[in-house]
Structure 1
Amino acid sequence: MLSPVNRWFPQSATSDARILLTTRALRGLADGAVSVLLPGYLTAIGFNPLRVGAIVFGTLLGSAALTLWVGLATDRLGRRRVLLAACALMLLTGIGFATTTGFWPLFIVAVIGTLNPSAGDVSLFLPVEQAALAEAAEPRDLTAMFALYNV
């Protein structure tokens, strides 16, 4: 009998696949919360709508640039190393936003960091996780794996 957790994953899913899907779900929850909370937080610390928009623009610009770079450099650096570095960068981004209230320092953190206030997860994790997920199950189960990944 399959445990309730194992019913979600195809039989050939490796432990790496389970970790990737679990962290993707948690990050999706956090990204969704950030997309709702970030404008309110920035307004609460005194930013006008133009500065709020600039910070959000900075996060999207930085996320796009990092995603492109990571997509090109991951094979040289290694997926595990890139994912761990991305996690560290995400933590530092959160610390930066929690401890900084000046516009320019926050803008720099927004551009360099991994904050993603958009409706979907379009961060530097995406290309690395998708490449890793393609190797984390048998070919017959890949459709199910990517369906779970995108849900």
Structure 2
Amino acid sequence: MNYDFKILPNAKLESIVPLVYELNNGKISKSTLSSRFNEMKNQNYECAVIMIGTEIIGITGLWFCTRHYSGKSVELDHVYIKPEHRDKGLGKLFMQWIKTYCKKKGYETMELNTYVQNYPSHKFYYNESFQILGYHFLKKL
């Protein structure tokens, strides 16, 4: 397969809504996701994609910031590859591309959150040399 890794222009963020909808098992409506991505366009956010031709088959959000404990950091968000493209080494290639891209931008660390029950992702991230630093808490206001 000929995969292409690139940054999706913010004007095209709407095109990733179906994949993020799949990732969240439909728990967040497509209209809510569209609204949120429209806001994210104006924040320190970029979206990396995996493409085959014109089809997006994988995504991750990249949030750029400086943190007191890790320096210039990129936080990966909503990492998702369509099921039919998994278990082919594509995730490893995507992580390498992201690492190279972020290092070129001057970033020192990568971090992410993963759902507690998503055991396959835990194994994957351990294999990619990520370490558990803490717990992520959320409180709705």
Name the TM-score class by shorter chain.
Answer: under 0.3
Task: Tell me which structure has the larger Cα radius of gyration.
Answer: 1
> TM-score normalised to the size of structure 2?
0.26
> TM-score normalised to the size of structure 1?
0.25
Higher normalized helix content (fraction of residues):
1
